[in-house]
Structure 1
Amino acid sequence: MVSTTVKENGVEGGEVSGLPPGDYSLIGWDVDTTGRRLLDEIFQIAAFAPEVSFSQYVMPFRDLNPAARRRHNIRVVTVGRYRMLKDSRTGKVLKTKSEIFGLSDFIQWLEDIKGNARDGVILVSHEPRKVAAPLLLEALYKYNLLERFSAIVKGFANGYKVAEIKCAKTVHSFSLRTLSRVLLNNEEDLDNAADRARLAFQIVQHLCAGEDHPESNQGSRDGGYSENHGLAEAIRQFTLTVTKEQMELARLKTVLERQNSLRPVFGPLLRLNRRERQRASNLRRILAEAGIDYPMLSATYSKNGKESIAQLLASKLAQAKPKEVDELHELLVGHFDPNSESKTEKSQLNKENRSGIGDVSGSSTPDTTTSSPIKAPSSLGDNTTTDSTNSPQSNTASPQKHSLSTGSVVTIASESVVTLASESTAS
Structure 2
Amino acid sequence: MQSVNQKPELVTNMIKEAEKYTLVGIDIDATGRRLINEIVQLSAYNPKSQYSQYIMPYMNLNAAARQRHQLRVVTIGYYRMLQCTRTNKIVKSKSEIASLNDFLDWLHVLVKTDPNSSGVILIYHEERKFVPYMIIEAIKRYNLTERFLTIVKAFANGYEFAKLKCSGNLKIYSIRRLSKTLLNKNEIIYHSNYRNSPKQSRNGKKLYFEGCASVRAKLAFEIYQYLAVSNCPGGERNLQKHNVSDDDINGILEFNVNALQAMLKYIVDIAKPITDDFNELDKEKKSLDRQNSFRPVFLRYFEAALYHRVRAVKFRIILSESGYDYENLKAIWTEKRREGLTEVIQTIPLLKNAEKDELINLLDAHYDPTKPPMQPPARKHKSHHRKFKDKRNLKISDARLNHSKENKRNTKENEELLTSPQV
Distance, in Å, in 1 between the alignment partners of 2:325 and 2:56 is 36
Partner of 1:20: 16
Distance, in Å, in 1 between the alignment partners of 2:116 and 2:29 is 28
Partner of 2:36: 39
Q: 1:298 aligns with which of 330, 352, 362?
A: 330
Distance 1:97 1:321, change over 3 A: same
The count of aligned residue pairs is: 324
CA contact 2:346–2:356 (8 Å) conserved in 1: no
Partner of 1:308: 340
Partner SS state of residue 226, structure 2: helix
Deviations along 1:234-275, one digit per CA (max 9) or x if unpaired, are 122111211000000000110011011111122221134445
CA contact 1:309–1:329 (8 Å) conserved in 2: no
CA contact 2:318–2:350 (8 Å) conserved in 1: no
1:336 counterpart = 2:357: no
Distance 1:264 1:328, change over 3 A: farther
Q: 1:48 aligns with which of 45, 48, 57?
A: 45
**Which is helix-richer, 1 or 2?**
2
CA contact 1:265–1:332 (8 Å) conserved in 2: no
Deviation at 1:141, TM superposition (A): 0.5
Distance, in Å, in 1 between the alignment partners of 2:149 and 2:96 is 18
Say what the alpha-carbon RMSD is for the aligned residues.
Answer: 2.6
Deviations along 1:149-198, one digit per CA (max 9) or x if unpaired, are 11111000111111121111111111111111211122423211001101
Distance 1:326 1:307, change over 3 A: farther
Deviation at 1:398, TM superposition (A): 4.4
Partner of 1:353: none
The alignment-based identity, stated in percent, is: 38
Distance, in Å, in 2 between the alignment partners of 1:285 and 1:270 is 15
CA contact 2:293–2:325 (8 Å) conserved in 1: yes
Deviation at 1:402, TM superposition (A): 2.6
Runs of 4+ in 1 over 6 A off after TM superposition: none
Name the amino acid aligned to 1:19. I
Deviation at 1:339, TM superposition (A): 12
Partner SS state of residue 53, structure 2: strand
Partner SS state of residue 291, structure 1: coil
Distance, in Å, in 1 between the alignment partners of 2:150 and 2:357 is 48
Name the amino acid aligned to 2:375. K
CA contact 1:24–1:122 (8 Å) conserved in 2: yes
Partner of 1:402: 376
Partner SS state of residue 86, structure 2: coil
Name the amino acid aligned to 2:122. L
By relative contact order (CA 8 Å, sep 6+), the higher-ranking structure is 1
Distance, in Å, in 1 between the alignment partners of 2:256 and 2:364 is 63
- Larger Rg over CA atoms: 2
Deviations along 1:210-237, one digit per CA (max 9) or x if unpaired, are 4459xxxxxxxx9559545641331221
Deviations along 1:380-413, one digit per CA (max 9) or x if unpaired, are xxxxxxxxxxxxxxxxx941623268599xxxxx
Deviations along 1:323-364, one digit per CA (max 9) or x if unpaired, are 1x6414422422322799xxxxxxxxxxxxxxxxxxxxxxxx
Structure 2: where are the runs of 5+ without partners? Answer: 1-12, 191-209, 234-252, 383-423
CA contact 2:27–2:43 (8 Å) conserved in 1: yes
Partner of 1:91: 88
Partner of 2:172: 173
Deviations along 1:48-73, one digit per CA (max 9) or x if unpaired, are 11142110000011111111111111
Q: 2:219 aligns with which of 192, 199, 208?
A: 199
Name the amino acid aligned to 1:236. V
CA contact 2:24–2:123 (8 Å) conserved in 1: yes
CA contact 1:18–1:236 (8 Å) conserved in 2: no
The correspondence of residues 63-78 of structure 1 with structure 2, limited to 5 A, is 63-78=60-75
Name the amino acid aligned to 2:167. A
Name the amino acid aligned to 1:327. E
Distance, in Å, in 2 between the alignment partners of 1:59 and 1:48 is 21
